[in-house]
Structure 1
Amino acid sequence: MRRDALYFPGLVPTKFSAVEGFLRTNDYARSRISVADEFLGYSLVDSYATAEVYDWEVYESGFMVLTLALADWALDHVEIDPVLCGGQSFGAIIAAVFSGVLSYEDGLALVRGSAAVEVDYFDGLAEPLGCLFFYRLNSRQVDELVAEFREVGRDVEVSIYLDDSVHAVSGPLADLDPLAERIRESGGHPFYTMNRSEHCASVRPLRDRLETEVYDQVRWRVPRWPMLSDVSGRLLSDPEEIKRDLLDGWVTPVHWSTVVDGMRTARADHAHIVGPRNMFSRITNNALPTDVITPKTVADRERAREVSPP
């Protein structure tokens, strides 16, 4: 019997045009959208079509709807027998909804409430914070650059070790600009700066506000499948422990190796990565066989079914 890991990547900026067909025509997507529209009080697809990545409520809700619909489709059309469900960064929230830790409505409430608190927190800071994403440097080089900047008083922290090539560093925007230049000088390629920090100790006040103002206001349940922590790599089934783990993700750097090691410890022998892009598949594919479930996966499967003889 195959032992599958069902995994949801973090929020990756994706052009609406790349997912519009799936959102507007797929029955699984339309079912998820109908509930979201009623809960949010507006047309999520129409808002998502014009949203910027910094329109956090719309963008995160749209990403959640899209990803959950892909997972719904996969359970009906792909041979999957999950022994665990997990996600990286925002993907962990989606995993909590899909595994039943949060109801769909509570997941949408969590997104809406968290977005409001995050905007209030970051807008209220005296010094703007950000998170710089880049690739083509290995983890040792990244740690050395961060140490170099911290030695001269620049408060930067590594937020993400996605693999030994893709990383992210959080800190004041005034410190990230010169860091980006040093990254280029070292042979790296900065490609995206987000207007908030995440997965670092400096946002502890935000993590604590989210706990009391948002996470304590929704109901947490026992999951359908154990949740794989991207903080510790452990399998979690206690609702309160899962809640704390998701909160602690705000102040703990992401190490993709922690996730892969957790899958191995759980004796998963196949990974299914669910989301709009397939960039994460190359990482787990080095450790265990990996399939991706994207809008293209759905379109290809449906096209093949149309041309197959009866």
Structure 2
Amino acid sequence: MPVRRDALYFPGLVPTKFSSVEDFLRTNDYARRRIEVADEVLGYSLLDSYAEAEVYDWEVYESGFMALTLALADWALDHVEINPVLCGGQSFGAINAAVFSGSLSYVDGLELVRSSAKVEIEYFEAQPEPLGCLFFYRLNSRQVDELVDAFRSDGHDVEVSIYLDDAVHAVSGTLADLELLEKRVREAGGYPFYTMNRSEHCASVRPLRDRLETEVYDRVTWRSPKWPMLSDVTGELLSDPEEIKQDLLDGWVTPVHWSTVVEGMRTARTEHAHIIGPRNMFARITNNALPTDVITPKKVADHEAAATANRVPR
């Protein structure tokens, strides 16, 4: 029987309440092993800090998200029938994919997160005006492009950062411009749901991308991955360590197009996608293109509950 060709895919950093993942992080053996290493690298209790962190506490929140996601992936390889032919991630998820594929060690991944957060905070605090990224849905891509083009024609410096599908988008710019844009999004029938306190995936942060390369990414060790890495920038499969490093950096200045990821999976003849993360919003998108399942704390809990129920007492 032919072996199915699977993709391991790590979504971007989605705001998630600690209470919804706390049980998994505190009780699951895979999570405890990841947390233990993180505590040693970071020099403090990641769980205690993660429990109190806001999404804007970048070092803690991103480190916690990495430990959580990698633990879910560890569990999946041992408990789910998976034959990976590629590994990829969207936005911050690409860093998790680099670690899980072996292109970065877990320790280097944590060091990269910590060092990057310091550079990013310094960069954004030094900007003459506060920058951000507005996320919204209920407008299609054509409407978003027309809205942004009209806004730019009025003298506002905004850029589309994310085309997650034809309904979920994000636009980067100054917080002042995004406040005005949010009003226009609502008037057009869109629904804004989140504003991040930094811009990303846009040409205007090229200086930050270049600083991260020399001050952070050049100071960790990059290796060939166990599975080819799917670029969310070009849709290509990457195996060369330097190409992977440059691709992650270029994600800072390149808008995310979910269609690029899907086409990359199709080109690689992927037959099934496994989306690994605390929430399952990405499964809805991928499932339109190929069969998809999610690896979440709930899936782990349901699996373990079923195993306990089916265990025959001695």
Matching residue of 2:203:
201
SS in 2 for 1:191: strand
TM-score w.r.t. the length of structure 1 is: 1.00
Question: What aligned pairs does 1:44-193 form with structure 2 within 5 A after superposition?
Answer: 44-193=46-195
Secondary structure of the 1:250 match is coil
Aligned residues: 310
Structure 1 stretches of 4+ moved >2 Å: none
Deviation per CA, 1:247-270, whole angstroms, max 9, x where unpaired?
000000000000000000000000
- Which whole-Å CA distance do the structure 2 matches of 1:52 and 1:248 have between them? 26
CA deviations 1:9-29 (Å, max 9, x no partner) are: 000000000000000000000
Amino acid in structure 2 at the alignment position of 1:204 = R
How far residue 152 of structure 1 moved from its aligned partner, in angstroms, is 1.3
SS at match of 2:199: coil
Gaps of 5+ in 2: none
Separation in structure 1 between the aligned mates of residue 280 and residue 295 of structure 2, nearest angstrom: 8
CA-based RMSD of the aligned residues comes to 0.4
Change (3 A) 1:65 1:309: closer
Query: How many percent identity over aligned positions?
Result: 82
Amino acid at match of 2:304: E
1:31 is aligned with what amino acid? R
Query: Is 1:277–2:273 an aligned residue pair?
Result: no
Q: Which residue is 1:293 aligned to?
A: 295
Post-superposition offset of 1:306: 0.6
Which residue of 1 is the match for residue 33 of structure 2?
Answer: 31
In structure 1, C-alpha distance between the alignment counterparts of 2:154 and 2:186, rounded to whole Å: 19
CA offset at residue 122 of structure 1?
A: 0.1
The question of 1:225 aligning with 2:198 is answered: no
Q: CA–CA distance in 1 between the matches of 2:284 and 2:53?
A: 29
Task: Give the superposition deviation at 1:163.
Answer: 0.3
1:100 partner SS? coil
Cα distance in 1 for residues equivalent to 2:34 and 2:182: 39
TM-score norm. by structure 2 comes to 0.98
Q: Distance in 2 between matches of 1:118 and 1:284?
A: 30
- Give me the whole-angstrom Cα distance separating, in 2, the residues matched to 1:173 and 1:104: 34
Answer yes or no: is 1:305 the counterpart of 2:307: yes
